Amino acid sequence: MSAARPVYPTWIRSKRVALFWLAADALLTLGVVLAFVLHPAWLLFAALSCPFFYIAVVLTLTVHRLGPRGGDFQARIHRLLVEAVGTNGRLLDIGCGSGQLLIRCAKAAPGRYVGLDHWGTDWEYSRAQALQNAAVEGLRGLEFQDGTASHLPFETGSFERVVSCLTFHEVRDVPDKAQCLSEALRVLRPAGTFAFVDLFDDVRFFGGRSRVLGVIARAGGQVESAQNLSELLPLGFPLNSAKVLRHAVLVRGTKAPASAG
């Protein structure tokens, strides 16, 4: 019997990929059927299938490139975050999903590690999966809590390190997703370190990078660097497209030290 292995899905929902392939196939098949009966509408259905095929191909290639056989870019992005926050102090991973990033952090150094996620039915992650992955990886004592990034269930200053990877833009329980940044900084101790990767350059989600940096500053964060992932990694197609990671930015820094007296 082969040894158990951790299960780390990519950030692309497999159901969404399958849905686009099914839609493209259905439209093309309908067009072919109509062509046999000489119905002029077949051209319309054949044309309609093209964008669905394109999206399905992009999503499939994205899954491949994020995985181990296509460059392992999901793991490479995680390593950027691990390196950015160092190895000292209690760490919180906001939006931990399958536990992959938190487990990478825990492997870097012993300590106290907490992962938070909502684990909604729309995703292929679960708390049980995260716990199982930690056990398979030989890590004990990792905590996984249910919660939302917009209202973290932790006291102010509970962590020395906070990380998050492509989570904040997915939060839907508040109208302003930037509130998640303020919450992340709230639970970080003074002089603690943070590193976030998200679509901060996409104005649809955050209003642009300058607004993101302003929110962080007002929450007490001191940004050391803010770089597009394309500056740090050779993303290439399709990861560098607007619908994937073109707007992704790694923001890292520290929280201002507590004022003396």
pLDDT digits (tens, 9 = 90+) for 177-200: 999 999 999 999 999 999 999 999
Same domain, residue pair 44 and 81 = no
Classified as helix, coil or strand, 259 is coil
Per-residue pLDDT band at 17 (split at 50, 70, 90): confident
Residues 6+ apart with CB under 8 A from 46: 27, 28, 31, 32, 35
Q: Does the pLDDT of residue 162 top 60, yes or no?
A: yes
In this structure, the answer to whether residues 232 and 134 fall within a common structural domain is: yes
**Residue 164 is part of which domain span?**
72-255
Angle between helices 179-186 and 209-218 (to 10 degrees): 30
* Mean pLDDT for the chain overall: 90
Say whether pLDDT at 242 is over 60: yes
> 35 and 76: one domain?
no
Specify whether 157 is located in the same domain as 57. Answer: no
- Other beta carbons within 10 angstroms of residue 167's beta carbon come to 25
Residue range 130-142: mean pLDDT, rounded: 96
Q: Are both 55 and 77 inside the same structural domain?
A: no
Q: Looking at residue 260, what is its pLDDT?
A: 46
188 and 88 in a common domain: yes
Residue 211 has pLDDT above 70, yes or no: yes
Count of domains in the chain? 2
Query: What pLDDT, on the 0 to 100 scale, is given for residue 56?
Result: 83
Above 80 in pLDDT, residue 51?
no
Band of residue 13 on the pLDDT scale cut at 50, 70, 90: confident
Give 118 or 39, the one with higher predicted confidence. 118
| Residues 18 and 100 occupy one common structural domain | no
Alpha carbon distances (Å) from 148 to 53, 93, 116, 172: 34, 12, 8, 9
Residue 2 domain-assigned?
A: no
Q: Are 79 and 31 found together in one domain? A: no
